[in-house]
């Protein structure tokens, strides 16, 4: 094979790969935005209406249903969910491959490395998981995920009733809380 042909082939395969990755990232971004804004708008509305206590009851009852609604709205086999090493709802506990990625993210975070806004992992020939880190980025997060002095005591009572095994507390401002995970199957 001529050198030119070989390099043309190599170049075109890198291009296909790059554009495929761009496409995967775009699809993941759209899915995350959909879940994030659905959760955020309704959390905000409940905070405004009934404060942290009502918001805690709302999240306990509705977060999973909202996630499900968003997932059934996708045309393809795409799914999006939230996960964490210190999860509140065991439905959000990481699968073993997700745990490995979260552990690496946590290590990088602790050693001061900037985490990529989107991380693409191929899990088999045509399946990808895209991770977007979630940080404790607002004071209000601490009302339900902070330490005993920061938490809203009444709201946390409701939370503990619904999640007796809760692990999602004692976070500080800026901490890595977990990740959105989008699973994309390409046909
Ligand atoms: C009013 C209380 C409340 C506030 C405020 C709150 N959360 Fe939560 N959070 C919850 C509850 C309840 C769940 C469990 C939802 C479920 O059943 O999936 C949860 C779950 C999560 C999860 C999914 C993983 C897990 O632990 O199950 C993430 C990630 C998360 N919260 C991040 C945040 C961030 C970031 C903020 C601030 C922007 C925030 N939360 C503010 C109550 C709250």
Residue 8 has pLDDT above 70, yes or no: no
End-to-end CA distance of the chain: 31
Are the C-beta atoms of 180 and 132 separated by less than 8 Å?
Answer: yes
What percentage of residues in the chain have a pLDDT greater than 90?
A: 87
CA angle 12/13/19 to nearest 5° reads: 85
Residue 16 has pLDDT above 70, yes or no: no
Answer yes or no: pTM beyond 0.95. no
Q: What is the pLDDT of residue 7?
A: 65
Are the C-beta atoms of 82 and 89 separated by less than 8 Å?
Answer: no
CA of 60 to the centre of ligand 1 (A): 9
Residue nearest to atom 1 of ligand 1 (CA): 56
CA of 103 to the centre of ligand 1 (A): 19
How far apart, in whole angstroms, are the C-alpha atoms of residue 119 and residue 7? 28
How far apart, in whole angstroms, are the C-alpha atoms of residue 181 and residue 117? 12
CA of 23 to the centre of ligand 1 (A): 29
CA of 32 to the centre of ligand 1 (A): 15
Residue 169 has pLDDT above 60, yes or no: yes
Query: What band does 161 get if pLDDT is binned at 50, 70 and 90?
Result: very high
What percentage of residues in the chain have a pLDDT greater than 70?
A: 91
Q: Which of these ranges, 5-14, 44-53, 132-141, has the smallest mean pLDDT?
A: 5-14
So where are the chain's domains? 3-185
How far apart, in whole angstroms, are the C-alpha atoms of residue 101 and residue 109? 12
Q: What is the pLDDT of residue 187?
A: 81
Q: What is the pLDDT of residue 17?
A: 75
Residue-level length of the chain: 187
Tens-digit pLDDT profile for residues 93-150: 999 999 999 999 999 999 999 999 999 999 999 999 999 999 999 999 999 999 999 9
Q: Which residues line ligand 1 (CB under 6 A)?
A: 52, 55-56, 59-60, 63-64, 82, 84, 87-89, 92, 134, 136, 138, 140-141, 143-145, 155, 159, 168, 177-178
Give Rg (Cα) of the chain. 19
State how far the alpha carbon of 27 is from the alpha carbons of 9, 16, 80, 84, 122, in Å: 27, 16, 11, 22, 15
CA of 97 to the centre of ligand 1 (A): 22
Mean pLDDT of the chain: 93
How far apart, in whole angstroms, are the C-alpha atoms of residue 24 and residue 180? 15
């Amino acid at each position: 094979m001529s050198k030119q042909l070989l390099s043309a082939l190599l170049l075109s395969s890198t291009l296909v790969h790059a554009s495929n990755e761009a496409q995967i990232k775009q699809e993941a971004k759209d899915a995350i935005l959909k879940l994030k804004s659905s959760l955020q708008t309704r959390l905000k509305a409940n905070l405004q209406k009934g404060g942290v206590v009502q918001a805690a009851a709302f999240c306990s009852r509705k977060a999973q249903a909202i996630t499900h609604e968003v997932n059934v709205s996708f045309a393809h086999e795409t799914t999006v969910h939230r996960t964490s090493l210190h999860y509140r709802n065991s439905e959000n506990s990481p699968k073993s491959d997700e745990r490995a990625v979260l552990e690496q993210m946590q290590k990088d975070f602790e050693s001061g490395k900037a985490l990529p806004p989107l991380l693409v992992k191929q899990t088999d020939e045509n399946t990808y998981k895209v991770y977007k880190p979630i940080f404790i980025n607002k004071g209000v997060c601490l009302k339900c995920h902070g330490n005993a002095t920061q938490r809203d005591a009444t709201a946390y009572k409701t939370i503990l009733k619904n999640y007796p095994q809760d692990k999602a507390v004692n976070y500080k401002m800026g901490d890595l809380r977990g990740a959105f995970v989008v699973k994309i199957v390409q046909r």
